[in-house]
Structure 1
Amino acid sequence: MTLSIDMQSDAGAIHTLVSFGDLPDELLLHVLSFLDIPELLSLSRTSHHLKHLSSDPLLHRLRLKYSHARVNQLLPRRPPLHVLQPPTSTIYLTRTHLAARRLQWSLVSIRLNRSISRRPKLSTLIAANILPKECCKYDRRSGEIVWGNGIAGALVERKRQVEREKIKEGLKVWLERKAYQIGLRKESEGRVGIMLWRFSRKMRISDSPHNLPDWCERPKKDRVSGLKRFWEGMGSGRSSNT
């Protein structure tokens, strides 16, 4: 390790490079006195000379002297004891505080055990749509629903979304197939209708009375009145016999 030192002389400024190990021991001890113990240990592994200086008693006396002066400056500024104790802080805990904390934990444990004993069953939560049924499984031995190797709660909604998408795709395919079948049926019915229309046009009978055959002639008025009287007589004869 080298240090760059600028020296001023009568001839002018002189720029020289000095190694860290070439410095006097007094200066090195003064520099090492500002280091902590872990830093001194790391520095002692670099060379034998620095290792010897790191274990020098004079160095540690200087460190203790500086530490004592630093502590005397910080002690008046330390916070009071009531600030470090509960409920303000938990830095300083007495035996009373520890006993109170253990008692509080015991009370919380008792309350949790009572609440767990009164909690509803999984089947009740599933029936109320609070818990998805995909997260549980049916136990054949006990006959109840228990926690099992189901789907995680965060993935249930994703699974349902995928199932809805599958149903939509299936309905879409079915509707397209149905529409295609209806189109084919309409096309075939249209062709049959055209054929029937053409056939009826060829075989259509004229509406004029001169072209009607004998069996298509309209009955005369006297014939209709005679048939009417005949059926009326038949009806009156049946009523008199009864």
Structure 2
Amino acid sequence: MTALSLGSLPNELILQILYYLDIPELLALSRTSRSLRFLAFDPHLHVLRLKYSLSSLAHLLPLRPSLQTLQPPTSNIYLSRTRLAARRLHWALVCIRLSRSLQRRPKLSTLVAANILPKECCRVDRRSGDFVWGGGGLVERKRQLERERLKEGLRVWLERKAREIRARRKDSNAGVGVLVWKFSRKMKVSGPSERRETAEWERRPKREKVGGLKRFWEGLGSTGLASG
């Protein structure tokens, strides 16, 4: 049994399928082959689609929301010309207030003198001699602190490695007597613990003794059961 493809179907059936597609889908389908392009641009298909749109539009228009529900303050979907003009006027007033507030703000030199703003955030202008905003000062100060912290860590690590290398060289340059002394010291440290383990092992009961006790108690139990 061979599988059916879209091209093997009759044109009437393909038009019935294309009837349920939207315009963007029909355009995408028309780019696949010549036959589908011819069917996608068929006038009869679009006449049927137009009739269906008119019938569905007549059914959906009574269900649309009223204009009052789309306007502010309920919703901002529909804005009238009066609302748009009021918004533009409000934005203009906000800009005017902001510009006036910016003019009344204190200077950077006043903020720096009052310790409100750190000096690292500002730089001195060469022409006017006044403080101007320079936000890169904080970033540069942070980078400088990170570099100093990294240098300090490397210095500590190098000092520790140098001490280890000096200790190794000192041990390698030492004579045989020093090495023997260190080895004997290690043996003295580990000697008592080893002797303690040996004494504990000797105090443990022997295997033959344990086996004899086991047989004794098993025999005693069997005689007790027999007498009972």
Query: How many angstroms apart in 2 are the aligned matches of 1:71 and 1:143?
Result: 72
Equivalent in 60, 66, 78 of residue 52 of structure 2: 66
Q: Flag the structure with larger Rg.
A: 1
Listed as ranges, the gaps of 5+ residues in structure 1 are 1-14, 174-242
Query: How many angstroms apart in 2 are the aligned matches of 1:151 and 1:83?
Result: 53
Backbone CA RMSD of aligned residues: 2.9
Query: How many angstroms apart in 2 are the aligned matches of 1:20 and 1:42?
Result: 15
Equivalent in 53, 69, 89 of residue 83 of structure 1: 69
1:30 aligns with 2:23: no
Equivalent in 134, 142, 157 of residue 148 of structure 1: 134
**Residues 32 and 54, structure 1, Cα contact 8 Å, conserved in 2:** yes
Give CA deviations for 1:149-193 in whole Å, capped at 9, x if unaligned. Answer: 6335xx478458659969xx6xxx9xxxxxxxxxxxxxxxxxxxx
1:137 aligns with 2:123: yes
Matches within 5 A, 1:1-242: 15-148=1-134, 150-152=136-138, 155=139, 158=142, 162=146
**Residues 120 and 141, structure 2, Cα contact 8 Å, conserved in 1:** no
* TM-score normalised over the length of structure 2: 0.58
Query: How many angstroms apart in 1 are the aligned matches of 2:134 and 2:115?
Result: 18
**Residues 122 and 145, structure 1, Cα contact 8 Å, conserved in 2:** yes
| Moved >6 Å (runs of 4+) | none
Give CA deviations for 1:82-114 in whole Å, capped at 9, x if unaligned. Answer: 221122322211111111111101110110111
Give CA deviations for 1:196-222 in whole Å, capped at 9, x if unaligned. Answer: xxxxxxxxxxxxxxxxxxxxxxxxxxx
Greater Cα shift, 49-58 or 120-129? 120-129
**Residues 15 and 39, structure 2, Cα contact 8 Å, conserved in 1:** yes
**Residues 122 and 146, structure 1, Cα contact 8 Å, conserved in 2:** yes
One-letter code aligned to 1:49: S
Shift of 1:133: 1.9
Sequence identity (%): 61
**Residues 134 and 151, structure 1, Cα contact 8 Å, conserved in 2:** yes
Greater Cα shift, 54-63 or 85-94? 85-94
Query: How many angstroms apart in 1 are the aligned matches of 2:144 and 2:98?
Result: 34
* TM-score normalised over the length of structure 1: 0.55
Task: Say which structure is richer in helix.
Answer: 2
Question: What's the secondary structure of 2:4's corresponding residue?
Answer: strand
One-letter code aligned to 1:84: L
Shift of 1:115: 0.3
Query: How many angstroms apart in 2 are the aligned matches of 1:141 and 1:105?
Result: 36
**Residues 72 and 79, structure 2, Cα contact 8 Å, conserved in 1:** yes
**Residues 44 and 50, structure 1, Cα contact 8 Å, conserved in 2:** yes
Shift of 1:18: 1.9
Task: Say which structure is richer in strand.
Answer: 1
**Residues 135 and 151, structure 1, Cα contact 8 Å, conserved in 2:** yes
